[in-house]
Amino acid sequence: MLADKPGFINAGGKLIDLSVPKVMGIINVTPDSFYHGSRVTGDREIVETAVTMISEGADILDVGGYSSRPFADDVPVKEEKQRVLNAVRMIRDRFPEAILSVDTFRAEIAYEAVSDYGVQIVNDISGGDADSEMFGLIAEFNVPYVIMHMKGNPRTMQNNPEYDDVIAEVLRWAGVRINRLRRAGVRDIIIDPGFGFGKTIKHNFDMLKRLGDFSIAGLPLMTGISRKSMIWKTLSVSPGEALNGTSVLHAVALLGGADILRVHDVKEAVQTVRLIEMLKRA
């Protein structure tokens, strides 16, 4: 029997209603993200990107300063912090009521983003594995926390990843961390299976096909498949040509129970959510 998911998450006193799936817009403050179109570096470009995404219907903006593409170089803490906090500050100044997420696995950066700029969500690609201080921070602030599964790290994760059953392994991994977070008093936990993070294309499609299996955890589910290699390699196109494929798989994810879509292209994702919701009500 599948557990019921919570209908809301509490983001800094703002209740996010998950009865209709939400769209999280990606703002990569990096020079080397895998999709060239998602890279924003100048101050003006950061604000313009936020303006566009909010006008197109983004429910959450996710700001990251560390490229997690396969084989990416490490980014020093000081550099990541400068990138992320500068962007968060400018977006918060322009949109004081926006729901912001910080994409980082470093507790030091998450702490400053939450305490100094009111960031309401922490999105951790390591699920707490990269920084032993992260769970304590999340418990202290009790902000919604995204735990994503990754086998290895960005520099090693695509070195022949193997699983007996990728869904079962991700669920076991998540279960350990969910129990730790619950014991610490953390209320709002979101699962991200980690498409493309230590998975082959087949693993990714297996997870998407069985996405509903993750509902057994009884937690909101976020998917990050936007323009990823499972799409563009399968279609023999570039990441820049993968929008149509992304929309198709977003529809599949929504039908499979995704509660949050983490996306590069907000307008198209919002339209996909609207169409799938109409289909569900038909």
Active site residue 182: no
Picking from 209, 214, 201, the residue whose alpha carbon sits closest to that of residue 255 is 209
Q: Which of 228, 233, 267, 281 is catalytic?
A: 228
d(CA 232, CA 236): 6
d(CA 103, CA 225): 16
Q: Which of 81, 262, 280, 281 is catalytic?
A: 262
Active site residue 106: no
Helices assigned H by DSSP within the chain: 43-55, 77-94, 107-117, 134-141, 166-183, 201-209, 229-235, 243-255, 266-281
Find the distance separating the first CA and the last CA of the chain, reported in whole Å. 26
| Beta-bridge partner residues of 262 | 24
Picking from 261, 250, 269, 174, the residue whose alpha carbon sits closest to that of residue 219 is 174
CB 112 within 8 A of CB 81: yes
Residues in the chain: 282
CA angle 210/21/191 to nearest 5° reads: 50
DSSP 228: -
CB 29 within 8 A of CB 40: yes
Catalytic residues: 228, 262
